[in-house]
Structure 1
Amino acid sequence: MGSSAYSPLDQFIQANPHRKIGTGRKNHEGPHNAEDETGGPQLCWLTVKIISMRNLRKADLLSQTDCYIKLWLPTASCREARTRTVRNSRNPVWNETFHFMIQSEVKNILELTVYDKDTFTPDDQLLTVHFDVAKIQPGEKVHLNFELNPEDQEELEVEFLLENIPGVSENIITNGVLVSREVSCLKVHVDERKMKSPYTRRDFTFTVKGSHEETQDISLNPCCIWGSSETTTFHYIKHSQPRLHMTLPKERFFCGCSSARREMDASSPLAVPLHSLDLGEKVTVMRGESYEVAVKEEDGCKNLDLRLGFDLCAEEQDFICKRKKVVAAALKNVLQLDEDLQEDEQVPVVAVMTTAGGVRSMTAMFGSLLALQELGVLDCTSYISGLSATTWTMAKLYEDANWSQKDLRGPIGDIKEHVIKSKLRCFSLDHMKYYEKELCERKQEGHKVSFTDLWGLFIDCMIHHQASTHKLSDQQLAVNQGQNPLPIYLSLNVKDDFSTLDFKEWVEFTPYEVGFLKYGAFVRSEDFGSEFFMGHLMKKIPESRICFLEGAWSNIFSQNFMDAVYLSGHSDDFWHKWTQGTKCDIEEHPALPKNPHDQTTYLSIPKGRLSNTLQEMMTGRPVVSTYHNFLKGLQLHNKYLENERFCMWKDTVLDSSPNQLNEMGDYLKLVDTAFFINTSCPPILRPERKVDVILHLNYSGGSQTRPLDLFSKYCLEHGIPFPGTELSQEDREHLKECYVFEDNLEAPVLAYFPLVCDTFQKYKAPNVERSPTEMEQGRVDVSNCIAPYGTGLLTYSEENFNKLLNLCSYNILNNKHLILQALRTAVERKKRLKNCSSPQFSKLA
């Protein structure tokens, strides 16, 4: 990227006659349904000249700073550029020029980091300027002074020049938040020229930084005959100015990548700038005495293997159409309607959502679903969402493709047998050998194995007589005719060195897709866990069994210290004070015109080593579940912060820092949602699902209102339509079995069921009082998370299992009138909405 390594614009165009003109942008909602637009996104040449600094701060008290500056623009190159070091100067001058090729539709944030060079210790990072390149207009040369510290008159002087590259554009696919760019495939061929020694093996290492493969090894074995060859492949962003780094066997060779061939000795890695070659044809870049290295660039993958879009996938839309027929008939029956509901306009979408609570929540959910089935309301439901241990209930039920059409007492009897059984059998020698074998096979398949995989196998052992082979995609059979509600499982993606409060991203799992609510990026459920780059499937890895996903969804080992502080209800401001760097907006002179999507220039000063150590201690998680990152390589759109769907779910400290938000991490790190908010509601509130009624089944321990309060506050802060959930102090102290909230016409009707033992103490069924001998069966202590229903308790007595099951079933049955009220309200809303949108109404209005 420095002036010594990269050609200016005119030289680049002359050196790349094979570059093809792109056809434009695609707005993507699926692997095959994007449409071309005219006026393709432009590739530009950005020239950055680092001129000087004035009144530079000291890194220490002993001497002036030995200063250099690093330039990092990750959307253009994965490598940092840097100036030379100016020693012992308060006013260093560089006048060094650097060049970057950028895509105008991508959010390009240039980071200029000032360092103090140290001899015996790591270099000190003094400050970083974050500058949005979108502020520079094509054809414009801008000379800027960044005010780093107005009081001390500390300034950084930089010159920018942005030029369109004529005749070169790029095919991109975008949903307005993420951008998939063109991918090239580099074939590296190593050919044997002559036998050097029958016993000499020649080992080659090739690296293309920023590519999917990153590093590849090739060996020419001693037993190979003359004329043999080996080939390896790299996939990378086509217009990213890549370099091929080569570590070669030590022997005499000729460098063939320049016009003047030089005889050299490969004693250290060599780098070949690929953008300077015409790779349309096979090009020899290195020739030794016994081998030759050649490269050739080909077009990469065409269609995306993930879906960029916020709409529901075609399979889920088809499911909803089929499910509405079932729901319409069920609603007519339970509401005793005189007329059939029109499926397209009058049938409300009803969702059941649950909260976490270990075996308590798994058992309680069975009781709730049993009662909903008895009332006929289960057939009125289109979605069931779960997290943590309620995913165990869901996964168990969806092993049967017609479970909701059968009496649930069957699977309840089966799960009771497992709950009351000792779990020591799961630690038997035979089981331990089985776990080891499964984990070894999983690792060989290409998955990254962690302790949560062992936990998933343990869960499988707890609730099955024998190992289950079911996968998430297998559940498509349970919804392909609309015969059951669609299951949605929820998890959080987190980052190292951040508390869950500071960084978390909702990830939903359905039998059809796995994806991010915030980014609008989804992959087929059978492809989750495989390796992706820029939205293309690079390496297919066998789909995980659902028990391994259960280990991720209910990962009780992922809590860190900061999460515990948050969940305890205490403020974590004190810890933030000691673990966060400083960040402030700064001025540049002259002031540049502002566009709505341009980010403000800001200055960040890193935290010290002590704060780094403290943050690692506070935010370190014992275990996270790790899966290959299917977002790898994708970049953020220039206007991503204006996208309504992104703004609806953005809530991390990095959302306005695209370089850090979208780092090309190889892995997703998934944790239990309950360590942030104990709710599975977010995917239910996606506007595209148009949910009209939510049956909120709360199974949390301790406060029964805290999860609802936290999520209500979350929705209010993010502008997500949600009903007001205010409860009186008397209600908070003496909770009833059900509350209906319907004050917001833009939000679903919410029927909220706290886990309480209210009238169940006196009634064994609605309006059926207990006899004196039955009173003991009504005493169920669910007021806290301690025994007999503690969250960490894995085994219940048969009596306690039956009590909890009957309690949750009773609470649903005893509030039939409130459930029907919520359903009737939703139907009436749909009718009013239809009447308001009718042509006759519009004419009258």
Structure 2
Amino acid sequence: MSVIIRHDLSPSEINFIKESQTKIQDALKIHDIHCPENNVPRVALLGSGGGQRAHIGFLGVIRQLGKEDLLDCMLYVAGVSGSTWCMSSLYQDPQWTQNAEEAANKALLSMSEGKGVTFHDGVKWMRQRYAEGDFSLSDVWGVVTCWIKGVSLECQPLHKDGDVASPYPLYSAIEKQIFHKNQQKEMWFEFSPHEVGFLEPGAYVNTSLLKKDFVGGKMIPQPVQRKPMDMVQLQGICGSALADVGQIKKYLKDAFWDWIRSISPVYLTEMKRETNPGQILYILADLKKNYANPECSLSELERLKCLLGKSWADFSPTLKRVEHQSWRGMTDQVKEEHVERIRDELVASVDKWGHGQILTGIPGGDELWVLSHVLPLFFHWEFGTVANFLYKCQDAAIPKDMIQEEQMHLIDAGLYLNSPYPSALREGRCIDLIISFDFSAGDPFLTLRVASKYAVKNGHPFPKVDFTKLDSECPKSYYVFEEMDKPTVIHIPLFNIDNCKDEAAIEKERKEYTTFQSTYRDKTKINHLADLAAENVTMNKGNILSKIKKAVNRRKQQELSNPVLHRKEFNIWTMVTDFCSSFLAIFTWLFNSVKGNKHAKTT
């Protein structure tokens, strides 16, 4: 159980590719594309980040791909940030692709009708994670993400020992410290069902061993056994919101308090504890929504003082000052700032007014635990804390900066590149066609720009893109970039002139579906966005199939010109297999020759 340094694929992934060929062949036959086993094209489906917009958009795309019999033509599906929310839900069911339309519709319906994660189920999961160590805001965000999606906790483990659903799923993150040091060559981190690790140094461990302690490339015993990473944790790492730090903090805090507010106030009121942490927690959450209503907010502030007891003024200086100010005369912005400070001060002083009652089973115990262990994380702002399996690993391929710390911090890859191009460009995968659905905010070609730079920096083949000919304000629904001996790239922006009809409508949709806004719960709004994304598939089905067919023909030509080293797929496993086959053939020939000579002499 050691760290693996290599650039070819894992034996499990290679086996998956071989087993998928027949399925892809059958899927292509539906579209009258016939290819022998050696010419099956490798197609990667990419989903970008974009929060809940990307989640809904990717569900709409996958639903339509299934409906158009295109999904089974894909070998890989890779996601970043919001698109991983979509993937984690679908891959809960190993057979989801057999009825992708139904699976996607179920996930879309959950957002408007699902109950989501209950408060106590979420806290129970977080308590377990806290006991294991390495507890961070990513774990909290993973729970809140499930609530946003309207589903219960998706606790299925990331790793797979048996069959993996097709297409092969790939999730992406980046390592925070390496990113901040501007070592953008080494920072990309990939999760797959079988292996996880850094693409450029080529350093991996078995997926089931992620979170285990390693020293010098070898796993060591650990005092507290950590469970393998599940999909809740994965979403928390991969799918945190994007923007500047201030915007991220506000968005994550607001989403967290919205989840708290989903607790039934009736349940909290029934708690008869004199200083009830549950009621206090709910009031703090409710103030976030009602600060602009003077009657409601003043009433809740007074109730908060009563619950905190006679010493309430010692716990929050801001709450004390409010008593001497004209709350009604404040602007809404000032009120919001006061509420934020009151919340932070009460969190900081929880040990004083909470009386240290943080035991499971005591009424209000979970609520007090959240106040004591979760809310302080927003001050420390620590994400994606995971044991560093490269700690003190001595290998020339691994930069020294990657081996010095016992922990690493995996965060949203969209902070650097908001689409999982690095996974599709990994040399061992030999991808023929990349189909990228972009749900990003702002410039609809930014992911292409960054991917192109990443490819140049890391020596990966990537087709040339003339960005001077791309209209960011009024993009089309389909762009294709192709060049000899390089993967073909299809780029499809979410909002475009074809599904929105004009530039004004594009701008309207962009404003309606921003990354940082309250959780989408309106069924009409959710379905409209999913349908717009699906329309991009319907309109371009013929274009996609024509490029798949071209990839088949290109593979045929490459095989004819170089049947052994077909598209650089020659690796150690191929070499061993070919050597053994050749040796066996020669041995058999010699054996038969000797046997034949002996028979002739006897005769």
Indicate the residue corresponding to 1:341 in structure 2. Answer: 35
Deviations along 1:239-264, one digit per CA (max 9) or x if unpaired, are xxxxxxxxxxxxxxxxxxxxxxxxxx
Deviation of the 1:741 alpha carbon: 1.1
* Distance (Å, rounded) in 1 between the aligned partners of 2:162 and 2:383: 30
The CA deviation at 1:489 is 0.2
Q: How does 1:754-769 map to 2 (within 5 A)?
A: 754-761=493-500
Gaps of 5+ in 2: 250-378, 565-603
Give the number of the structure with larger relative contact order, counting CA–CA contacts within 8 Å between residues 6 or more apart: 2
Partner of 1:251: none
1:513, CA displacement in angstroms?
1.0
Is 1:461 aligned to 2:152, yes or no?
no
Q: Does 1:409 align with 2:91?
A: no
Cα distance between partner residues in 2 of 1:762 and 1:464: 32
Residues 577-726 of structure 1 aligned to structure 2 (within 5 Å): 622-637=381-396, 640=397, 658-659=399-400, 661-726=401-466
Does the CA-based 8 Å contact 1:324-1:347 persist in structure 2?
yes
In structure 2, give the amino acid aligned to 1:342. P
Paired position in structure 2 for 1:813: 538
TM-score with structure 1 length normalisation? 0.48
Q: 1:581-622, CA deviations, whole angstroms, 9 ceiling, x for partnerless residues? A: xxxxxxxxxxxxxxxxxxxxxxxxxxxxxxxxxxxxxxx983
How far 1:812 sits from its partner (Å)? 1.0
Q: Aligned partner of 1:549: which letter?
A: L
2:40 aligned with 1:315: no
C-alpha distance in 2 between matches for 1:697 and 1:471: 27
Q: Which amino acid aligns with 2:220?
A: M
Please name the residue that 2:28 is paired with. 331
Work out the CA distance in 2 between the residues paired with 1:623 and 1:318.
38
Cα distance in structure 1, aligned partners of 2:387 and 2:86: 26
Check 1:814–1:779 CA distance in 2 against 1; reply closer, same or farther (3 A cut).
Answer: farther
Deviations 1:539-558 (A, max 9, x none): 35221221011101112379
Query: 1:212 — aligned with what?
Result: none
| Percentage identity across paired residues of the two chains | 25
Counterpart Cα distance in 2 of 1:440 and 1:837: 57
1:543 matched to which residue of 2? 228
CA contact (8 A) 1:782 1:789 kept: no
Partners in 2 of 1:490 and 1:786 — Cα distance?
27
Give the distance between the partners of 1:320 and 1:502, measured in 2 at CA: 29
2:79 paired with 1:391: no
**Corresponding residue for 1:769?**
none
Does residue 377 (structure 1) correspond to residue 82 (structure 2)? The answer is: no
Tell me the distance in 2 between the aligned counterparts of 1:395 and 1:312.
Answer: 23
Alpha-carbon contact 1:493-1:671 (below 8 Å) kept: yes
Cα distance, 1:714–1:330 mapped onto 2, change above 3 Å: same
Cα displacement (A) at 1:495: 1.2
Contact 1:499 1:560 in 2 (8 A): no
> SS of the counterpart of 1:330?
helix
| Mapping of residues 538-577 of structure 1, within 5 Å | 538-539=220-221, 541-556=226-241, 560=245
In 2, are the aligned partners of 1:740 and 1:752 still within 8 Å (CA)?
yes
Deviation at 1:507, TM superposition (A): 0.6
In the other structure, the counterpart of 1:594 is: none
Q: Deviations over 1:367-399 (max 9, x none)?
A: 111222222221110000001111111011111
Which structure has greater helix proportion? 2
Report the CA distance shift for 1:722/1:503 in structure 2 as closer, same or farther (over 3 A): closer
Q: Offset of 1:810 from its aligned partner? A: 1.1
* Equivalent residues of 2:439, 2:494 under 8 A apart: yes
Distance in 2 separating the partners of 1:793 and 1:562: 13
Structure 1 CA distance for aligned equivalents of residues 515 and 3 of structure 2: 41
SS at match of 1:515: strand
What secondary structure is seen at the aligned counterpart in 2 of 1:490? strand
The correspondence for 2:112, drawn from 420, 432, 441, is: 420
- The residue type equivalent to 1:817 in the other structure is G
In structure 1, stretches of 5+ residues that fail to align are: 1-303, 565-619, 641-645, 647-657, 764-777, 840-845
Change (3 A) 1:505 1:621: farther
- Helix, strand or coil for the counterpart of 2:499? helix
* 1:495 and 2:177 aligned: yes
87, 112, 124: which one aligns with 1:437: 124
- The alpha-carbon deviation at position 499 of structure 1 amounts to 5.5
Cα distance in 2 for partners of 1:485, 1:502 equals 28
In structure 2, what is the equivalent of residue 736 of structure 1? Answer: 476
Amino acid at match of 1:493: E
Q: Which has the higher strand share?
A: 1
What code does the residue aligned with 2:148 have? M
Q: Secondary structure at the match of 1:695?
A: strand
Residue aligned with 2:515, SS:
coil
Displacement of 1:727 after TM fit? 4.3
2:391 counterpart SS class: coil
Amino acid at match of 2:389: F
TM-aligned CA distance change 1:562 to 1:527, over 3 Å = same
Measured after TM superposition, the shift of residue 799 of structure 1 is 1.6
Q: Please give the per-residue CA displacement for 1:807-841, whole angstroms capped at 9, x wherever unaligned.
A: 111111111121012111111110111111259xx
Aligned partner of residue 220 in structure 2, secondary structure: strand
Are the equivalent residues in 1 in contact too, given 2:237–2:412 (CA < 8 A)?
yes
* CA deviation map 1:142-197 (0-9, x unaligned): xxxxxxxxxxxxxxxxxxxxxxxxxxxxxxxxxxxxxxxxxxxxxxxxxxxxxxxx
User: Equivalent residue of 2:173, what SS?
Assistant: strand
- Equivalent residue, structure 2, for 1:516: 198
| Structure 2 CA distance for aligned equivalents of residues 678 and 495 of structure 1 | 18
The offset of 1:526, in angstroms, is 1.2
Cα deviation for residue 779 of structure 1 reads: 9.4
- TM-score, structure 2 normalization: 0.66
Q: Distance in 2 between matches of 1:526 and 1:823?
A: 35
Deviation at 1:536, TM superposition (A): 1.7
Aligned counterparts of 2:79 and 2:179: Cα–Cα separation in 1 = 27
Contact 2:51 2:241 in 1 (8 A): no
Contact 1:359 1:791 in 2 (8 A): no
SS of alignment partner, residue 353 of structure 1: strand
Partner SS for 2:512: coil
Q: Which amino acid aligns with 2:129?
A: R
Q: 1:364 aligned to 57, 61, 80, which one?
A: 57
Counterpart contact for 1:514–1:523, Cα < 8 Å: yes
Pick closer, same or farther for the CA change 1:331–1:623 going to 2, 3 Å: same
Q: Does the CA contact (< 8 Å) of 2:63 and 2:105 recur in 1?
A: no
- Partners in 1 of 2:237 and 2:444 — Cα distance? 25
Find the counterpart in structure 1 of residue 93 from structure 2: 400
Instruction: Note closer, same or farther for the CA distance 1:370–1:422 as it changes in structure 2 (3 Å cut).
Output: closer
Who is 1:654 aligned against? none
In 2, Cα distance between equivalents of 1:507 and 1:808: 28
Q: Is the 8 A contact 1:563 1:675 kept in 2?
A: no
